[in-house]
Amino acid sequence: MEKSNLQPKDLEERDSTSVNSSKETNKKSRKKSNKNRVTKLRAKFLDAYHGHPLKDMKLVAITGTAGKVEVAHFVHEILRAAGQPVAIMASESNIKVATLHKFLSKAWKAGANYVVVTAPAEALESDVFYGLPVHVAAITNYMDASISEVPAEEYVEAGATLFNMEPDYVILNRDDKHYPELQSFAGQKGTLTYGRDRFSNIQIENSTLYKKGVEAELAIGTTRFTVASFLTGEPIVSYMAAATAIADALHVTPEKIAEGIANYTKN
């Protein structure tokens, strides 16, 4: 048996470093827990202060490392095409609890039936959406940490936070490599998947990329129809399918889905 070159002093230093690291981790954990507790109290207060606006509206929350803004706008235009009063708050940036509740209040006063909101991982992890009834919880896709500021693992955890809020409907990307980690989540009323995978509820059967847009043939069961957008790039095909899955959960017809998707153009 080889004799270790470590001296008692080396072992003491290692033990000390391990203890300090553990203390630092526990300190950060307590700090985060305290911060989340404050956020939950504020969320509960603000919801009551504004009169519980979601009692008369349905919340569509969309998360993911990429595409949530595009999907949110597609859904917004689809609902408008279907004649539904709808409000949208879509951004890749984090949102604060006061900002979210102020938006919900304004949408309620404006007579919206639906509110479409992007849900960044940071907001979900800090309980910004605490206590809100979620009608549809959807996820777009994940990208590598080198591209996104938030590691994919944290988005998996954040997505789980959203799906654990017991939404009526859950929308999952069956093509995403993290699908096996999320497939256990289910909506109270239903779960829909989308993608090129043949077992997807909303299946991408074919797609064509153009210089000034994209086109895709989608299938919902035996119903097949075409959607097209002036946005460019392969990811848009997946985003159109995600928006279609959300719209299907909201009982919007394929005709209005196609119309709404075509209506969205970036300014």
- DSSP code, position 66: B
Please state which of the ranges 142-151, 202-211, 223-232, 235-244 shows the lowest mean pLDDT.
142-151
Note the pTM of the prediction, 2 decimals: 0.85
Neighbouring C-beta atoms of residue 145, cutoff 10 Å: 14
Instruction: Classify 219 as helix, strand or coil.
Output: strand
With a cut of 70, say whether residue 101 has pLDDT above it. yes
Cα within 13 Å of Cα(114), Cβ side: 24
Per-residue tokens: 53: 């606006």
With a cut of 50, say whether residue 57 has pLDDT above it. yes
Per-residue tokens: 264: 């969205």
Domain boundaries along the sequence of the chain: 35-263
Cα within 13 Å of Cα(195), Cβ side: 17
Q: Is residue 84 classed exposed, middle or buried when 0-12, 13-18 and 19+ CB atoms within 10 A define those classes?
A: middle
Q: Which of 149, 154, 194, 156 is nearest to 175 (CA)?
A: 194
Question: What pLDDT is attached to residue 146?
Answer: 41
**How far apart, in Å, do the first and last CA atoms of the chain sit?**
71
Residue entry with tokens 């911060």: 35
User: Per CATH, the architecture of 35-263 is what?
Assistant: 3-Layer(aba) Sandwich (3.40)
Question: What pLDDT is attached to residue 34?
Answer: 76
Instruction: Classify 242 as helix, strand or coil.
Output: helix
